[in-house]
Chains A and B, each alone.
Chain A
Amino acid sequence: MSINAYLAVGLGSAMGSALRYSVSLASMAMLGSHFPWGTLLVNVLGSCLIGWLAATASRAPHGKLARQQPLLVAGFCGGFTTFSLFSLETLHLAQPGSMGLALLYGIGSLPLCVFAAWMGEHLAFFNQPAA
Chain B
Amino acid sequence: MGHGITSVLLVALGGALGGIGRFAISNAMAHALGKAFPWGTLCVNASGALLAGWLLGVYGVANTQSLWLFAVAGLLGGYTTVSSFSLQTLELWQSGQTNRAALHMVAQLLLGIAMAALGWWLAQG
Q: How far is the CA of A82 from the CA of B47 in the complex (A)?
A: 13
The interface residues of chain A lying within 8 Å CB-to-CB of B67 are: none
Name B47's closest neighbour in chain A (CB-CB). Answer: A84
Knowing A117-B90, A121-B90, say if A87 contacts B16 (CB, 8 Å). Answer: no
The interface residues of chain A lying within 8 Å CB-to-CB of B85 are: 83, 110, 113
Q: How far is the CA of A46 from the CA of B105 in the complex (A)?
A: 17
The residue from B49, B83, B115 contacting A46, defined by CB atoms under 8 A apart: B83
Interface-centre pick from B45, B112, B117 (highest chain A CB count, 10 A) = B112
B39-92 residues with Cβ-Cβ distance < 8 A to A are 45, 48-49, 51-53, 56, 61, 69, 72-74, 76-87, 89-90
Interface size class of A (residues with CB under 8 A): 35 or more
B44 to chain A, nearest CB (A): 8
Tell me, yes or no, whether B14 is within 8 Å of chain A by CB: yes
Q: How far is the CA of A77 from the CA of B8 in the complex (A)?
A: 17
The interface residues of chain A lying within 8 Å CB-to-CB of B113 are: 87, 90-91, 106
**Count of inter-chain pairs, beta carbons less than 8 A:** 196
Q: How far is the CA of A15 from the CA of B8 in the complex (A)?
A: 10
The interface residues of chain A lying within 8 Å CB-to-CB of B74 are: 17, 21
| A contact patch SS | helix
Q: How far is the CA of A86 from the CA of B13 in the complex (A)?
A: 20
Interface size class of B (residues with CB under 8 A): 35 or more
Tell me, yes or no, whether B19 is within 8 Å of chain A by CB: yes
Q: Which B residues lie at the A interface, using CB under 8 A?
A: 7-9, 11-20, 22-24, 26-27, 45, 48-49, 51-53, 56, 61, 69, 72-74, 76-87, 89-90, 93, 105, 108-109, 112-113, 115-117, 120
Residue pairs across A and B with Cβ atoms less than 8 A apart, 29 shown, are A6-B24, A14-B15, A15-B15, A17-B12, A17-B14, A47-B83, A50-B87, A51-B87, A70-B23, A74-B22, A74-B23, A77-B81, A82-B77, A83-B80, A84-B49, A84-B72, A84-B79, A85-B52, A85-B73, A86-B112, A87-B49, A87-B53, A87-B115, A106-B109, A107-B109, A113-B82, A113-B83, A114-B90, A117-B86
